[in-house]
Amino acid sequence: MLLWEIAEGRIPFEDERDLIVICDMIVKQMMRPSFSSDVPPEWQKISYQAMQDNPNSRPALKDMFMTLYSLHQKYQPPRSPRPPTSNNEELELPPDDGDLEIGDFTINVLTVKDAINEHKKKNGDKKKVWESFKIHAEEFHDMTARYWMGYYLYYDLCPADNPIEKNVRLEQAASLFKEAADIGISDAQLRYGHCLWSGEGVKRNIKESMEYFQKSANNGNGNSTAMYNIGNIYFNGIGFPKDEEKGKRFLRLAALHGQPKALDMCRKKGISLAD
């Protein structure tokens, strides 16, 4: 994070004042602050690698120093010309300014947060969103981006010249959902649970599916769709022994969270929300 502060000259997440929210963003959502477009890609990459939660995934200190040293050599300002010599010999002049120009390193990539907002727009640029998620997921191993990359693969939203075969696409999506689910992203737990339930992209496993639904339902404020799934399963005895009381409890919780299907089911089955 220090490398980010050095490059940007400011405090990360400075717009958010709530420390609990910041901790949740960093630890649970695996979000990392994005760099400005003029920060060299090599600096960005080594910084994101150093921010990995798993110490074994971080680069060795010597590798970081070598990268930073090479960046210093690459981008240091040209030295001033030497003063004239006493014997008026011809001086070796520095190269023309044109030879000192640094290439264009502008990266037209949205931050993960901006990519999510763009995705939610009715006419959002899905191609740009997909490419942004892909870069954050593959280059920087951002878990929120990996979840969204899985989302785009699952729903076939990723623009591609050579479309991926459906089975391969679903396998990749399920794998990404599991990664994000196992570090605590609630929506990923719900979607991976659904993949396990339906056998999409992964071998069907009802018991494990329920475990992921439970994780999602218990995560933070609770995922209302996961609550509805659990309630529906127990109330109707789908894949598990029927337990109407347990089913009612989860359906009621989901309905109180505003889940539309849970509200409808409670109304049809006469399940009171006041109990």
Question: What are 84's two structure tokens?
Answer: 């004239």
- pLDDT for 96 equals 53
Q: Residue 9, Cβ neighbours under 10 Å: how many?
A: 7
* Residue with more model confidence, 137 or 87: 137
pLDDT of 220 > 60? The answer is: yes
Name the amino acid, one letter, at 36.
Answer: S
CB 119 within 8 A of CB 126: yes
Q: Residue 105, Cβ neighbours under 10 Å: how many?
A: 13
- Residue 57: band (very low, low, confident or very high) from pLDDT cuts 50, 70, 90: low
DSSP letter for 240, please: S
pLDDT of 90 > 70? The answer is: no
Rounded CA separation 206/85 (Å): 84
Say how many Å lie between the first and final Cα of the chain, rounded. 48
Rounded CA separation 260/71 (Å): 54
Provide the mean pLDDT of the chain. 83
Cα Dmax for the chain: 104
- Residue 56: band (very low, low, confident or very high) from pLDDT cuts 50, 70, 90: low
Average pLDDT over residues 205-229: 95
Distance of alpha carbon 212 from its chain centroid, rounded? 19
pLDDT of 42 > 90? The answer is: no
Render pLDDT for 160-198 as a digit per residue (tens, 0 to 9): 766 789 999 999 999 999 999 999 999 999 999 999 999
* Residue with more model confidence, 92 or 53: 53
- Residue 103: band (very low, low, confident or very high) from pLDDT cuts 50, 70, 90: very low
CB 226 within 8 A of CB 190: yes
Q: What is the pTM of this model?
A: 0.64
Of the candidates 195, 33, 231, the residue with the CA atom closest to the CA atom of residue 113: 33
